[in-house]
Structure 1
């Protein structure tokens, strides 16, 4: 990055974050501490003066009256950006977090006055994708490029059912589901449109061969109803007792769901049309003895078989 760009970035950092040590600035800008001092000299030649304070808690800082630019953002607006940063860190392992933080620094630098830095706002996430974010980001960017250029990809893909298999795909679109990125495209090995989870692509190569994307392809046509994959629909009716009845009622599990409360015992009658049998089974089993399946009978049998397997596995009689 050029000296001018880094000088501006240093100003933005100091404007948004306040006092910073030379070492901190050097690490953030990925340059030596000597270069930070040189940037300071360059800024002073342009009559932009940085204040400095010696000692353990010292560092460079900008005078309160220093001005870069003003976006007229309100406090609630900047707070929303700070909260979004916390969400992106915890919720889905956002692969472009570094770029987001850089943009956020520019926004904060443009705001007059001091704002809550979000340290009092916390989002707790029970689990998150176990992936290498830098590797995932490179896959995302490379596959995005192949979608734009219409170049085929040769991938070594690990499938739960088939194991590691080499395939040639024609990538159509990328989308995210539950923190993971997927590529939907035509698989030449299977002769049909398939979805590929980026984290399961072990290696890939951009090919010179190009392809034409079908003009009638729509992501919505590929995705199933209330599930990312096409699947059989189940008209589900559940009786759910406390405490799970309270927990389940606090979330939207399906856009068509209906919940009827029983005021006497705080149980609920849950009805919805859903697809994705593995997810449905996992969801119902997570409620333990609090749930009773009223409909359909097919789902009851699926759960019975799953419970039998658990009994055999753990020798429960």
Structure 2
């Protein structure tokens, strides 16, 4: 088999099976493992994004979000569609249901349909086993590409584990643990599942895709009377463009969105929030809500008094 054929076959394998390591690919392609890295370079040159993961559970994975970049919507185009949906809802458009379905199809058929979901691996006091990290990676990949996962999970009130399909919607860090909020095909409802090897025994990426519900809002599932209990506040922060890459690397809260240098997210742990905010000095600014801005101002004033002679 010539080099071009091997590259194409490697592309098909990664698309069909998800993450594969060098030895697995070499065995399937009947070639030397040293050639796999060269095939990867050729595929990247051709425009395919082949991600490489290091470590014991490392390997290669095809980033399907960029398979057809010509179909990608710009952030402004995506925002225009979302605003059009809200405008027509406010106008009481009689064919709102059909419009929502049409917009969903457009968004779900493009690589930029939704902002990339983040895995927050920098949370203090939280360590994960290799198996948990692998399940987290699989969950994030399924979430980004809108694929179902086959989950094997045992709830607190069960004496055995169930295996079922789930559509992952959000990955949440809460009280030194990670959870996935998703739609259970078994329960026909949204459920919270803790990413822990004591409860989550397997998480397998599926070829089956799902259409994200346009009426889903995370605020419905966090708070005192929701699946995730707690006091959550949506905070808006203006961030200078030069520090935005560093800002995005940190975990600030759930449901992060950004537009015109303003980031918004749901905050539960304000001790961590204020501490991280302080590290950016005057390059970030809380713009809403007022009580959060005022609480941060009060803390800064207390610090300043210590240094005023």
TM-score (norm. length: structure 2)? 0.34
TM-score normalised to the size of structure 1? Answer: 0.33
Larger radius of gyration: 1
